Chains A and B, each alone.
Chain A
Amino acid sequence: MTTPAAELVGVSQRFGGFTAVDAIDLQIPRGRLTTLLGPSGCGKTTTLRLLAGYSAPTSGRILIDGDDATRTPPEKRNLGMVFQSYALFPHLTVADNVAYGPKMRGVPAAERRRRADEALDLVGLAHLGDRKPKQLSGGQQQRVALARAIAIRPRLLLLDEPLSNLDARLRVQMRAEIRRIQSETGLTVVLVTHDQDEALELSDEMVLMRAGKIVQSGAPRDVFPAPADRFVAEFLGYENFLTLADGRQAAVRPEHLRIVSADAPAGEAVAFDAVVRDVAYRGVDLLVTLEATDPGGHAVRLLADHRADTATGPTPSAGDRVRLLAPEARLALLEPDPTPTEGIS
């Protein structure tokens, strides 16, 4: 295997008595897009800043292209960072912002200009080079920040919540845009986000963090159907948690719980009886709240999506006694939660 583009080895960051990043081991695969995903305050930005060199870890080592860079200052790391605030230089034009990096590297003026044009072209803003950042919309500023980071031909492109300041529609458009830029440039990208949809859609590799630790990592296709523990499952939108007959914990998504009539056969599914408490109409489906006793014998409250077009059973209404089917293949088995009472963040 080739050396990872970057690697954190046992890296911790403490602020006073508080541990923001707790003995993290992380490899950033070359030429791929890795996301750091987790709730606010879990240490994503701190990890990114450690990679970029804006702070030195309290302990541990940071390798870039296999070389120890733990104490290398940011200007010598050659990494392109896009800040959450974009941090465009307000006194420089868009073109000069993008040409700033090459200028600091002593690239001659004509070549600088060419590189800035090329980077602006890549983000579709070649025509706005003479404007000041203030004269651009939020989405355009974000593209300029991206172009500025790319113009230095960085070894890694680091993006801190790049889409969080954009409105919902633009956010979804920019996901595709970031994917395109990544594949056109072949850059190694590390992207921080607290949005699981964003992470699932963008990642080659996703890294889930909680309270300064990595709780799970892998390709979205591997992580999504098999969350390691309840925290990850909740974060990925699993709403229902069951204890199975053998005492193991399992999570299941609302769209995978099937509501059938009380006497229907179970087949290849875990089946148990439930009472409908509430039915909310949501257009494409009904969101059904149920009370049930799970196979482990605990009383649970469950959410099920009921799609009239695919469902086989009767349309549920409040008070109905029904049977719930959770297909074996859809059950995500969870590791026992070591600290069930610990809060998130």
Chain B
Amino acid sequence: MSQTVKQGASPAAGHGTSHGMRPRHPVAGTLAVAGYVVMIVPILFVVATAFTAGSTLRFPPEGLSLKWFGEAVAYTPFVEAVVSSLELAVLATGLALLLGVPVTLAIHRGRIPGKGLLEGLFLSPLVVPELVVGLALYQQLMIGLHLDNFTTLLLGHTALLLPYAVRVTGASLALTDPALEEAARGLGASPLRAFVTVTLPMLRPGLISAGLLGFVTSFNNVPLSLLLQTRDFRTLPVTMLDYVQQSYDPMVAAASTLVLAATVVVAVIAERTVGFAKIFGGINR
């Protein structure tokens, strides 16, 4: 009985904030509220200006209209950039998971020497400045190996997401009893079948959270995408940055609002299907 309680309690202990929406500590509480205000208020300004009937990015908006949304959706460079960004984010996330899961398994379950080194190696892209990575990829892959710019970007984004994939799925794996796989083997499952029927389901929350995190990271990335852009392949953030430098109309605000709305939809689906506590519960480990 006590064991059941312990199992239930330990994952919750890692993310006390999920219960602590009303922190008892007054200073911490105030800071938290201030933090939310600083983060959210500017976003509200952007959303508000997107609905303006006027033609400048100004607050308060002049009148109410949806015309800038119409403009944004009809603006070919944005539409093309959304497709490019989605393509890149989906492929890079998929690749990062495909590479990251075996690496995670090797780190946590394998009998290989120098596991610490391996783990360090796969987390290192987190600390190397992205501009440097971007420049290196530009020099070596695009100029040196004549790879096209999409392939180079894909490789760059995959490298960028790999640490998340390894870290987040690793957190999931660390929470599962290694005896589960052994039990499956003892019951007659081959190593592959044990992995598919037991390990993979245990990794599901980790895979979903690594996938979401990777997708969002890739979709929002600017430094790599900026360095490796070409005329015919640009991601959405880069295109929007370009646009803002030339004109200052509310279409960019409308585009941002649409991206925000899409993100919220994804978040809600994630919360409904897996739950944030489960998705992000493992990250703190």
Q: Are A87 and B1 in contact (CB under 8 A)?
A: no
CB contact between B188 and one of A89, A134, A136, A152 (< 8 Å): that residue: A152
Does residue B182 face the partner (Cβ distance < 8 Å to A)?
yes
A-side interface residues, number (CB < 8 Å): 31
Assuming the contacts A74-B182, A137-B1, asked whether A148 and B177 have C-beta atoms less than 8 A apart, the reply is: no
Assuming the contacts A134-B4, A134-B7, A138-B1, asked whether A83 and B182 have C-beta atoms less than 8 A apart, the reply is: yes
Does residue A168 face the partner (Cβ distance < 8 Å to B)?
no
Does residue A1 face the partner (Cβ distance < 8 Å to B)?
no
| Chain B interface size, under 10 / 10 to 19 / 20 to 34 / 35 or more | 20 to 34
Q: Are B186 and A105 in contact (CB under 8 A)?
A: no
Does residue A326 face the partner (Cβ distance < 8 Å to B)?
no
18 A–B contacts from the bound complex (CB under 8 Å): A54-B182, A74-B182, A74-B185, A75-B185, A75-B187, A75-B189, A78-B188, A81-B182, A81-B186, A83-B183, A87-B177, A87-B182, A100-B197, A101-B188, A134-B8, A138-B1, A152-B187, A167-B1
B164-205 Cβ-contact flags toward A at 8 Å (1 or 0): 000000000000010110111111111001000110011000
CB contact between B186 and one of A79, A91, A134, A167 (< 8 Å): that residue: A79
B114-130 Cβ-contact flags toward A at 8 Å (1 or 0): 00000000000000000
Name the CB-closest residue of B to A76: B188
Q: Are A87 and B188 in contact (CB under 8 A)?
A: no
Does residue B3 face the partner (Cβ distance < 8 Å to A)?
yes
The 10 closest A-B pairs by CB, nearest first: A104-B188, A101-B187, A87-B179, A87-B183, A74-B185, A83-B179, A91-B201, A81-B186, A104-B189, A74-B186
Q: Are A100 and B179 in contact (CB under 8 A)?
A: no
Instruction: Give Cα A148 to B187, complex, Å.
Output: 8
CB < 8 Å A-B pair total: 69
Instruction: Give Cα A57 to B43, complex, Å.
Output: 63
Q: Are A137 and B4 in contact (CB under 8 A)?
A: yes
CB contact between B193 and one of A78, A88, A104, A149 (< 8 Å): that residue: A104
Does residue A165 face the partner (Cβ distance < 8 Å to B)?
yes
Instruction: Give Cα A148 to B190, complex, Å.
Output: 17
Instruction: Give Cα A79 to B186, complex, Å.
Output: 7
Q: Are B3 and A75 in contact (CB under 8 A)?
A: no
Min distance, Cβ B184 to any Cβ of chain A, angstroms: 7
Name the CB-closest residue of A to B198: A89
Q: Are B190 and A87 in contact (CB under 8 A)?
A: no
Min distance, Cβ B109 to any Cβ of chain A, angstroms: 13
Q: Are B188 and A138 in contact (CB under 8 A)?
A: no
CB contact between B202 and one of A91, A136, A148 (< 8 Å): that residue: A91
- Residues on A with C-beta less than 8 A from B8 are 134
Min distance, Cβ B46 to any Cβ of chain A, angstroms: 42
Q: Are B183 and A81 in contact (CB under 8 A)?
A: yes
Q: Are A85 and B179 in contact (CB under 8 A)?
A: yes
Name the CB-closest residue of A to B185: A74
- Residues on A with C-beta less than 8 A from B180 are 87, 89
Interface residues of A in 155-185 (CB under 8 A from B): 165, 167
- Residues on A with C-beta less than 8 A from B188 are 75, 78, 101, 104-105, 152
Instruction: Give Cα A90 to B197, complex, Å.
Output: 12
Name the CB-closest residue of B to A83: B179
Instruction: Give Cα A83 to B133, complex, Å.
Output: 47
Instruction: Give Cα A322 to B237, complex, Å.
Output: 96
